[in-house]
Structure 1
């Protein structure tokens, strides 16, 4: 696959110039990484951090799983992407959309900080969680469309790895530091801190100055966004198989991660110890795993890495199942949680990077929204299914289900990796 961005110039720059050009994208990469972190942390806190708090207050696995359904509006990302492409807010449309939505998102977090876990009914908390997820989902569209528009193809896997690392760091913040903040200062403090972080991203975005890449449309889509354009996405060679992977590559290992903290809590570990060891250390290792995997794709290719990481998912889940069946100690379960964190980081880094290849130049936000909708659909539904299984069959039954699903998708990924590589190569030549 060509690893340099296509340009209208006919001559090829010399190597030092290429290195200088590539290194010049680091400020933008880091800015986008910080914004992705601030977008991710609240969602992680709601769906991974709070299950630990809810378990402390006597919520069942089914209750926790049903709360995960508040993430279902995120599957409408392909619809939320339509106005972003169709109605740009000024000349820097994606940037302005990002700022406006981030401000509303921060305001909603501040409102959430004024509620009470003990006094608010479940339906009210569910509605607030649903609203926060909806705003986070919508804001994610212009942010990542911004990355596709402003970063060359050679930067895409790095951008995906940085986004995954930001997600993992968001897990540290949302699943670790915010839990510590909650235990020390109460319910409101985490939401207030996360709102301020979002607003800092808005300030940084306001000062961002870069020109879009040639070949990526900066004009609104005048033809309108309709079902024909959505359906046409899946007729492109390789996109159908990629859509299946978007649905099932991550949710099995992701669901295990959702219930890892409740499992450790039920094994006798304290909330603070879980937050420190699993939330923070696990998040760091997941971030490093996503960066390492992005580096490895340069040597082994994206198709081979998709297959390899899929089998890593199977290994992590199978080992966790084995030790759950054996009634292993909390110390061993912590080790398994760390292995699971590495698998989660590697899988998410690959998915986020490869998503940037499966887009049409004039419909960047729409195509990113389509892929994200598929990804979020099963990522949201699978933990709910897993929660019901946990209540009825125990952790072992739930883990057996997750291992079986991961095994099937690993086999499919291995079978399809050549055709997926060909599709990505064709996309990069457009």
Structure 2
């Protein structure tokens, strides 16, 4: 199954980010880092937000469907191999240092800041490589699903499910077992997982592209120049439909990023151990996210992405209200039940998984098949750049506001999302008419 083989390519990506955003915040906190330092980890999501700058290089080339699929496949293979090599280098540079005063054998009592900066730079390079691979994979998926909105929705659900399977490995297994396997083995496992997925790329997308687009004719059969490829970069900004979709995705990004940025730190402050956090976020939470992603894709194929998103917004508001209640209880010195926190974490991650599927579908709806990688990267960039800024802002806001104020503010912002989204991009909230998406226009 072509869609499944493509989805598998997101497993190593999910593993990398799952470990990155679950284990590193806790490691920093254990080393005495302030919330602002934890918030700086949001910079590692920046390459996903700015991937549109180099996306035309990935789209550029033969316009024939089979040739375009082969080009995107090559980009995926090269970036995965380079990312695995860089992960092996990170495995050899452990910034967790033994605390001279505490003698912690696990290296959790202190942090070598110089080594941490080196690791942060390496992780940023790896993020660039994974962002590039994702541009190529998204383009391939858009080409395979040309003319079939239902297939696009189902394939996105499967893709997100694979992403969360990788997240379960990174944030659940690697984080939960961190005290046993340590820094080196955690990153070597992540590198090895990417290498294991390489055989699934052989011939990926060739059949699907021919079926979706038919034989190449005219301009499709020729080569696109570099100027033409980069001219496509401004396509979304030149059309009202593209601008509206960019605005809508940016509106959703702010309240969605704020709780994701800091709720692992809240769990640590509430007294949950790293092993428990790994079980909550990477165990039950990510397994539930996997199921939620797959289910969201199926629901979006039937009812439309817009209607499903409205339901997710309502559910997220309710979840954030409960987070606020827990934070108020903890602030007053009341005991907070760890099991209840764990259950809420599962709900939070499931909702996030659903949003991940919907936002990617909304981006693909506006993308042209001829420049899919560029168009999707521009639309996703509007979301991820805003989310990165919100992620960093979360680190600066958490300590001054306190946890009750932080989650309360996030709840309030989410209440405003739906009316603002309807104003900015009304088509994002409606059920599609069911006709195939045009390949050349976004209006």
TM range (shorter): 0.7 to 0.9
Q: Which moved more, 1:292-301 or 1:364-373?
A: 292-301
Structure 2 counterparts to residues 181-330 of structure 1, below 5 A: 181-208=177-204, 210-211=206-207, 212=209, 213-214=212-213, 220-222=223-225, 224-225=227-228, 228-327=231-330, 328-330=336-338
RMSD: 2.6
The answer for the alignment partner of 1:163 in structure 2 is 159
Quickly say closer, same or farther: Cα 1:125–1:115, change in 2 above 3 A: same
- Counterpart Cα distance in 1 of 2:38 and 2:82: 26
The answer for the alignment partner of 1:145 in structure 2 is 139
> What is the DSSP-based 3-state SS (H/G/I as helix, E as strand, rest coil) of the residue aligned with 1:58?
coil
Q: Aligned residues, how many?
A: 404
C-alpha distance after superposition, 1:133-152 (max 9, x if no partner): 11111111111111112234
Query: Shift of the alpha carbon at 1:81?
Result: 0.7
The answer for the alignment partner of 1:39 in structure 2 is 13
Query: Shift of the alpha carbon at 1:88?
Result: 6.6
Q: Which moved more, 1:110-119 or 1:228-237?
A: 228-237
The answer for the alignment partner of 2:33 in structure 1 is 59
The answer for the alignment partner of 2:93 in structure 1 is 115
The answer for the alignment partner of 1:98 in structure 2 is 76
Q: Which moved more, 1:418-427 or 1:322-331?
A: 418-427
Quickly say closer, same or farther: Cα 1:222–1:387, change in 2 above 3 A: same
Query: Shift of the alpha carbon at 1:195?
Result: 0.8
Quickly say closer, same or farther: Cα 1:225–1:76, change in 2 above 3 A: farther
Quickly say closer, same or farther: Cα 1:95–1:283, change in 2 above 3 A: same
The answer (yes or no) to whether the contact 1:161–1:352 under 8 Å persists in 2 is no
> What is the DSSP-based 3-state SS (H/G/I as helix, E as strand, rest coil) of the residue aligned with 1:186?
helix
- Counterpart Cα distance in 2 of 1:70 and 1:294: 27
Question: Is 2:336 the counterpart of 1:342?
Answer: no
Question: Is 2:168 the counterpart of 1:178?
Answer: no
> What is the DSSP-based 3-state SS (H/G/I as helix, E as strand, rest coil) of the residue aligned with 1:361?
coil
Q: Which moved more, 1:152-161 or 1:408-417?
A: 408-417
The answer for the alignment partner of 2:45 in structure 1 is 71
Quickly say closer, same or farther: Cα 1:410–1:418, change in 2 above 3 A: closer
Query: Shift of the alpha carbon at 1:28?
Result: 1.4
Question: Is 2:382 the counterpart of 1:383?
Answer: no
Q: Which moved more, 1:135-144 or 1:331-340?
A: 331-340
The answer (yes or no) to whether the contact 1:158–1:353 under 8 Å persists in 2 is no
TM-score by length of 1: 0.86
> What is the DSSP-based 3-state SS (H/G/I as helix, E as strand, rest coil) of the residue aligned with 1:187?
helix
Quickly say closer, same or farther: Cα 1:174–1:137, change in 2 above 3 A: same
Question: Is 2:23 the counterpart of 1:29?
Answer: no
C-alpha distance after superposition, 1:306-341 (max 9, x if no partner): 222122222221221122113243332222212211
The answer for the alignment partner of 1:5 in structure 2 is none
The counterpart of 1:128, out of the listed 122, 131, 140, is: 122
The answer (yes or no) to whether the contact 2:319–2:348 under 8 Å persists in 1 is yes
The counterpart of 2:406, out of the listed 398, 406, 425, is: 398
Query: Shift of the alpha carbon at 1:227?
Result: 6.4
The answer (yes or no) to whether the contact 1:303–1:417 under 8 Å persists in 2 is no
Unaligned runs of 5+ in 2: 98-111, 331-335
Query: Shift of the alpha carbon at 1:251?
Result: 4.3
Q: Which segments of structure 1 move beyond 6 Å, counting only runs of 4 or more? A: none
Question: Is 2:370 the counterpart of 1:362?
Answer: yes
Query: Shift of the alpha carbon at 1:268?
Result: 1.3
- Counterpart Cα distance in 1 of 2:243 and 2:432: 11
The answer (yes or no) to whether the contact 1:310–1:413 under 8 Å persists in 2 is no
